Chain A
């Protein structure tokens, strides 16, 4: 594959192209309240060509138009989006002229789609097999028996357990990673010419992502289909695609061979994407007196299994402890225990030399002030009906009794610290971008002048460049205010960037704990090794190396 990739210049359509999109323009009508409805351009003058057996990665931040282009390849506009200009030529004909009947014959036969959330895309009431072969039967490509044989073969090829009986299960009976692979099997089953993968691994854990990526890559190679691979993660797309197109604000920024984009990007924006997470942070040594110690914490939700078992960690003043692990490892529960939302069954929490009462209601206002929290989803962590001034000003009123002009001055200072101007004070959360929302949440936490902030996956919902900005801001604030962070994340790149010490959690236990250098230097235990080796690196050919060298199987979340 790499041979053809180097032999052929990208972006040259030609007659042998399976999919040839020329000057595509996509518009939508927006209806802002209190204004006349008007049209906005979502995709503007994008052209691309794809031959059989090739994979094109579409990459860009949210709102760049990548999914819209992907769906346009099937002649579909989601939510009132209209294809208003250009041509989408598939197998030699412009699908924009096909009409409803023609499109119906095309979708599921010539083009198939793999959605981001397989869990939401499968019908929970039907068995997997019925859904996997549905399109194949609908289009009369094969008889039911043939289709099912084909599906079983695909299950086996995609590395699903027990391929013979896998199809008899219901969607809730398999894990997220398996479901995503089943969806890939569903797309491959009618033997289409083109598959659109729309962020197929974004919702998966890092250790599972690698398996799904490998399965998708093998399947594409073996079946010789063409694919559009949509993602916001450049490291992921570098593993599976032959060429990459970088999009921003609906326009093409750069298009080239994967190797060229990764190793020698031409545009500034691409360079910024490639060099993301290049934050340098000097590791600090632990101090004799930690600001927070959690000792031998065991916790469970009412009447169920233990979610945390015998967890002991310490956070040092002005430093960052990163808690890493995959979904269900108990990292967020640890945060709930520390904040008092979930009183532990056993164990104590010591904060600045005093033992904290286990339940929130028993803690004093000073205890609460010193310990602030920032959430993953900034949208729901702020009251949508309060202005930024109220959101940031409330802790000032509440803890320090500031009022009127004094409070407003402090709000302005805080807005300044998070690199937003005073002009934002009167805005509502709905009027802010994702990154700005998270900044306001940071300001709200800072307003209380805490000595520890718990950051629960604060960058996971953000685009890489925006997330990078947030991390830099957090580090800068740590330097200025000497605040400690307990940083919960599943993203090891983030950990490498900002942590001073690390706790690796697996199934409710801390499996590895120490300073960053200690934790990230060999010899590793099996789980840490799996976790570390699963983080995609911005390097062509990393996937194969990683799969070969790892020692433990992923759980498949």
Chain B
């Protein structure tokens, strides 16, 4: 069904880049030339044959840290996104289908959470709780799920009044079938588009937290933290901070190119098999 020649150029670029990032993350210990926290040279050495991307603010190999950083960043952001989508969409769909007090209660609670700026909320919670990877994932996932909840509830509310859902109700179908078989397939397009965006927001949010010192703790490497560590070098004309920043941007763009393409395929009501 999937014809590789039909994939548009943009999607192909996104697909290749995203796969590269993912492979790097998975096989980090095999690819990285040096250890993650190993001090191997002088401070902020320029690009060289030994250190392709130079060294960082305390003389660690930047390429190795980038590779390990990919692992941490993608892992945390990915899990947080999965958590926020699972929770947000299931609760959102349920609220739309069940309605009544459940809907009111959930929606007002979500409004309450959303009324506090995410970053400040995250900072407060993380400064109280111990900064482990698990808490990071949970906090990011929970905060992000409010956005997903809003979207999926709105989408599901529209679908819920369609006659095919009424037909399923008249047949006597339970809520599970209505949510997962009638509504979910029709709500997938906006959710997939949102998924790409949300993943990137999660990467940015994590980077922001790390930059502020409440995210991933040193000596663990993550891209946001690496920008922070190397930011002082910019004054001296050393590009070490720009490399993780560029990686964040490249990941953001490539994931969204893929999301766009999936979106195009899922909006097709003919099951993506074209108009024959």
Contacts and interface: CB of A to CB of B under 8 A. Distances in A.
A248 to B, nearest CB: 23
B63 to A, nearest CB: 41
Given A383-B186, A385-B269, A33 B167 contact: no
A281 B53 CA distance: 86
B164 A431 contact: no
B275 A373 contact: no
Contacts of A105: none
A213 to B, nearest CB: 32
Q: Which of A339, A369, A431 has the most CB of B within 10 A?
A: A431
Contacts of A375: 163, 167
Contact of B186 (A340, A368, A369, A384): A384
Q: Is the interface of B mostly helix, strand, loop or mixed?
A: helix
B190 to A, nearest CB: 14
A206 interface: no
Contacts of B182: 383
Interface string B105-120: 0000000000000000
Nearest to A429: B269
A381 B6 contact: no
Category for how many chain B residues contact A: 20 to 34
Interface residues of A, number: 33
A32 interface: yes
B167 A373 contact: yes
Contacts of A395: 171
B268 interface: yes
A443 to B, nearest CB: 13
A380 interface: yes
B18 to A, nearest CB: 23
Contacts of B172: 363, 365, 368-369, 398
B104 to A, nearest CB: 17
Contacts of A377: 163
A341 B166 contact: yes
Contacts of B273: 34
B44 to A, nearest CB: 52
Interface string A54-94: 00000000000000000000000000000000000000000
B274 A382 contact: no
19 contacts: A32-B275, A33-B268, A340-B170, A360-B169, A368-B172, A372-B170, A373-B167, A373-B170, A380-B164, A381-B163, A381-B167, A382-B164, A383-B168, A383-B182, A383-B186, A385-B269, A394-B171, A395-B171, A430-B270
Given A34-B275, A360-B170, A384-B164, 8 more contacts: A369-B172, A372-B170, A380-B164, A383-B181, A384-B186, A385-B269, A386-B185, A428-B269
Interface of B: 6, 162-164, 166-173, 181-182, 185-186, 268-271, 273-276
